[in-house]
Amino acid sequence: MRGDGRTSLELLELEWVQTWRLALTEVANISGWDCLTTSVESELVEIIGKDIFEKLESVTGGGLERRIGMQKEMAQQKLEKLLRTGDVRDMEELITAMHELGEVKLEKAMQTDDSGVWKEVIETYERILQLKQDKWMRTLNTKDMQDLISTRGHVMQIQREQSNRRMGFRGI
């Protein structure tokens, strides 16, 4: 134990955290993010990670399957966090992750016209609807209700697009 009451293990852990903070700051600077504007480190890590992921995707072109896999993994992590906390903010994060997953799946469906992919798109958006309805039931917020109605309209639009494509028409 040292004179300030810290063990060598505690100092090693503190040094490790400081090293990671410096590395994160450097990555943020390279990525173009200002570390001082985002106060919660976990949010900063997520923002920077998403930004880097998007930049890599634009450079490499990334396959849709890989993008879908990454979005599924992100949504799964958000779901696990929501199940642990039950917090409405975590529900919002899950809804956002599911929406991002739905958009990538929709992109794939538009390219492939595969009925199985369209089914996955509809299922994803129905899950988003369910989450938004659950959120509205918890908050009884007018904005959440409007968002729910808007999402229902979006799902109906996707269903119409799928139906039109089956009949040979294109364009949402």
Residue 171: pLDDT band (50, 70, 90) is: low
The residue ranking higher by pLDDT, 17 or 153, is 153
**Is 71 within 8 Å of 101 (Cβ atoms)?**
yes
**Is 132 within 8 Å of 92 (Cβ atoms)?**
no
Cα-Cα end-to-end distance for the chain: 68
User: What local confidence, expressed as pLDDT, does residue 4 receive?
Assistant: 58
By residue count, the chain amounts to 172
69: pLDDT strictly greater than 60: yes
d(CA 159, CA 115): 11
| pLDDT tens readout for residues 113-163 | 788 888 999 999 999 999 988 888 888 878 878 888 888 888 888 888 888
The residue ranking higher by pLDDT, 50 or 102, is 102
The residue ranking higher by pLDDT, 35 or 78, is 78
User: What local confidence, expressed as pLDDT, does residue 123 receive?
Assistant: 92
**Of 54-63, 91-100, 158-167, which range is least confident?**
54-63
Stretch 95-111: mean pLDDT? 90
